Structures are given as structure tokens and as C-alpha cells.
Amino acid sequence: MSKTNELQMEILKNYFSFEGNVATLKLVYDTFAELINPNFGDDKIEKLNSKLFEDIHEAVSILPSRFKLNLHIVIKDFGEYKKEECEKIIKQNVYLFAYQVVRDNNKKRASGWTLIGVGAAVLLVSYLLRNYELWFDLINISGTLFVWEGVNTAFIERSQENKTARAMARSFQHITVEALAEK
């Protein structure tokens, strides 16, 4: 192991515990209610706010890709919830998060390809109007901008989001929920 990797591991050991190629991160929250978004959904299932997912995203972003992630969530006070309910809510919210990522990626891909198509059509029109210099230049520039935005949306932005989503999906090995003080 290189000196840089050793230093990196020493720093990461302050936040993760390591066993082989598995890193365990302990996230501690005072109450389960602080993770709930009270303005979303109905009484059948609670929607978590972004706090837990931001914490998970931060952990995944600093963890080297060779490690799997065990997430150990410790809640000091479940309040009106039972441990089993909290585990169910967290799992359902992880599934909802995955659905949102896939849906948003599909929308971006469709939007990018639409922009590329419009740009290609505009560039074709500019080619047909090449004898009219002013119109040719204006249409050519706008067509190029459409294509550029489409490529950026369909490939560059989506690639970064996919990389993050894949890293999150690939890194999870196990999620556990524990209570420090159950009522």
C-alpha cells in the first residue's frame, strides 16, 4: 500500500470501521422524527427527508470504490415508532430514492436526445438557407447550441449522476437500525 493510501486509510478510520473490503459507517440521530418529512405522503408510510440521503451520499463520495458499505443507523429515541417500523420506512424510502434516480435519468436522456434532434433539424435548415448569409449564421448558431445543450444533458450531466447513483447502489452491502433507548 502506498504512503498516500495509508494516510487516506488512517483518515477514513476516524469515520468508518473496516473489516476486509467492507466499511461500516455509524450514523447517529437523536430521534427518528428528525428524518421524517411530515408534509409528504399519508399515514400508511412515512417519507424521509433528504438528511439521511445526504449523509449516505457524503459517505459514499469519500469512501474508495473498492469498499462495500455497511450502514449502521443508530436512533437514540424512536418516539412513537417501533424499530421494525423504522427499518421498513428506511427500506421503502431507499426503493423510492432508486425509483426517483431512474426516472430522472430517463427524463434527462429523453430531453437530451430531443434537443439533439431539434438541433440537427435546425442545422439542416441552416444548410438549406446557406445562400442567405445572415439567416444561415443565426440558424446555424442556434442549431449548434441546441446540439451542444442536448449532448451536455444526455451525456455529460447524466453521466455524473449515473456515476453517483451507481456508486451508491454498488457500495451498499447491509443496512441496520439500532436503538440506544427504546421506549
Torsion sign, CA atoms 63, 160, 46, 89: negative
Number of domains in the chain: 1
Domain hosting residue 105, numbered range: 3-179
Query: pLDDT tens per residue, the chain (183 residues)?
Result: 678 788 888 888 988 999 988 888 888 899 888 888 876 666 656 788 888 888 877 877 788 878 888 888 888 888 888 888 888 888 788 777 777 777 887 888 888 889 889 888 888 888 887 787 777 788 888 888 888 888 887 777 766 556 656 556 555 666 777 777 544
pTM: 0.61
User: Is beta strand 68-77 parallel, antiparallel or unpaired with respect to 22-31?
Assistant: parallel
